[in-house]
């Protein structure tokens, strides 16, 4: 792949993202070099958006697989159609390709989310595909991957429940890029883009939503806070509540309580409290709300 083509791809893909210039450049360099990669970071950090943009630009498919205990090698590779096997016996014609074989045949990206939740024997199935760009399927033959085939994995470093430790063999075949949360201005840009925010009230909602969402990632009682998706939903819910309660201006007395209600709906299911904490998501969100809407404005007042 020519360097000018990579540069052109970066420019066009960047138009689909808010920020992420460095992460895009590094990911694009890895996949353009023919390498597989694991993107390690919390949910809602634009990993999927970036991969969709790259594969759309290259005109290849992006096949999603969720890593969990039910992801067996057969589900990943494929299986023979049982009904046709009874009539015709095993043959290549009645083989139903799984996402791995489909990605190899079509030259697409196999994107395995929550990679470290998949069983070890399933991950080992990927080793040959990643190392040799081919895989032997019984009663079908050897599947040779198209040149653009890649294995892309993602892992959440903050979630260790139900995960497995990846073997050295798996690590050795994957490049790695850590992707963290973006800064506040970038997240505000994402929320504006996704909510089509327009006007004084909506602009205040965007700022407040990003602020309280980012606060969930720093609260001592929260093991994992919300991604920017929580801020997006917070604005959308708050907009509808403002319509129901006839609130047109963020300076109206009912706005702060309206926003707390929007936080409960959009954020309470997205935060995960520390197991040792005897509290509730609602109580913790109330603390964050009070800090943002009562304590901080009081500190900022003159005198």
Q: pLDDT, tens digit, for every residue of 235-261?
A: 999 999 999 999 999 999 999 999 999
**pLDDT given at position 229:** 96
Indicate left, alpha or beta for 202 from its phi (over 0: left) and psi (-120 to 50: alpha): alpha
**pLDDT given at position 301:** 63
Of the two residues 297 and 112, the one the predictor is more confident about is 112
Which H helix or E strand runs over 273?
Answer: strand 272-273
Look at the alpha carbons of 193, 195, 198, 201 in this order and tell me if their dihedral is positive or negative. negative
**Tokens matching residue 222:** 């929260």
pLDDT digits (tens, 9 = 90+) for 67-101: 988 999 999 999 877 777 667 766 777 788 999 99
**pLDDT given at position 2:** 42
Count Cα neighbours of 303 within 13 Å in the Cβ-side half-sphere: 0
**pLDDT given at position 135:** 93
Domain 3-178 sits in CATH at 3.40.50.300
258: DSSP letter: H
- Give dist(CA 99, CA 76) in Å, integer: 6
**Tokens matching residue 245:** 């309660």
Strand partners, 134: 144
Over range 280-303, report the average pLDDT: 86
**pLDDT given at position 266:** 98
Q: Choose among 109, 118, 236, 93: nearest CA to 170.
A: 118
Over range 104-115, report the average pLDDT: 95
pLDDT digits (tens, 9 = 90+) for 33-73: 999 999 999 888 889 989 999 999 999 999 999 998 899 99
Which H helix or E strand runs over 8?
Answer: helix 3-14
Look at the alpha carbons of 186, 192, 193, 198 in this order and tell me if their dihedral is positive or negative. negative
pLDDT digits (tens, 9 = 90+) for 203-212: 999 999 999 9
Q: Supply the mean pLDDT for the chain.
A: 90
146: DSSP letter: P
- Per domain, the residue ranges of the chain are 3-178, 184-300
Of the two residues 94 and 10, the one the predictor is more confident about is 10
Q: Are 224 and 272 in contact (CB under 8 A)?
A: yes
**184-300 belongs to CATH 1.10.8:** yes
3: pLDDT confidence band, cut at 50, 70 and 90? very low
Q: Which of 130-144, 241-255, 277-291 has the lowest mean pLDDT?
A: 130-144
Of the two residues 265 and 6, the one the predictor is more confident about is 265
Residues 6+ apart with CB under 8 A from 258: 238, 241, 242, 245, 247
pLDDT digits (tens, 9 = 90+) for 160-214: 655 667 778 888 999 999 999 999 999 999 999 999 999 999 999 999 999 999 9
């Amino acid at each position: 792949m020519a360097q000018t083509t990579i540069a052109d791809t970066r420019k066009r893909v960047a138009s689909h993202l808010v920020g992420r210039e460095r992460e895009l450049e590094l990911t694009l360099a890895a996949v353009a070099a023919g390498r597989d990669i694991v993107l390690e970071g919390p949910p809602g950090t634009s990993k999927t958006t970036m991969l969709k943009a790259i594969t759309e630009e290259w005109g290849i498919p992006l096949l999603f697989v969720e890593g969990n205990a039910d992801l067996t090698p057969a589900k990943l590779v494929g299986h023979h159609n049982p009904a046709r096997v009874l009539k015709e016996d095993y043959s290549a014609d009645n083989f139903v390709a799984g996402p791995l074989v489909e990605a190899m045949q079509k030259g697409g990206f196999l994107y395995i989310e929550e990679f470290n939740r998949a069983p070890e024997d399933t991950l080992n199935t990927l080793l040959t595909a990643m190392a040799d760009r081919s895989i032997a399927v019984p009663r079908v033959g050897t599947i040779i991957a198209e040149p653009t085939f890649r294995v892309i994995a993602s892992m959440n470093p903050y979630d260790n429940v139900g995960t497995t430790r990846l073997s050295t063999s798996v690590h050795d075949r994957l490049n790695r890029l850590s992707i963290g949360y973006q800064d506040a201005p970038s997240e505000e840009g994402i929320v504006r883009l996704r909510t089509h925010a327009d006007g004084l009230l909506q602009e205040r909602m965007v700022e407040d939503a990003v602020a309280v969402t980012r606060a969930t990632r720093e609260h001592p009682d929260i093991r994992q806070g919300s991604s920017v998706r929580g801020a997006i939903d917070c604005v959308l819910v708050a907009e509808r509540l403002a319509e129901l309660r006839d609130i047109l201006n963020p300076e109206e007395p009912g706005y702060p309580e309206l926003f707390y209600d929007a936080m409960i709906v959009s954020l309470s299911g997205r935060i995960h409290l520390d197991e040792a904490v005897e509290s509730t998501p609602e109580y913790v969100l109330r603390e964050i709300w009070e800090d943002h809407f009562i304590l901080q404005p009081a500190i900022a007042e003159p005198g």
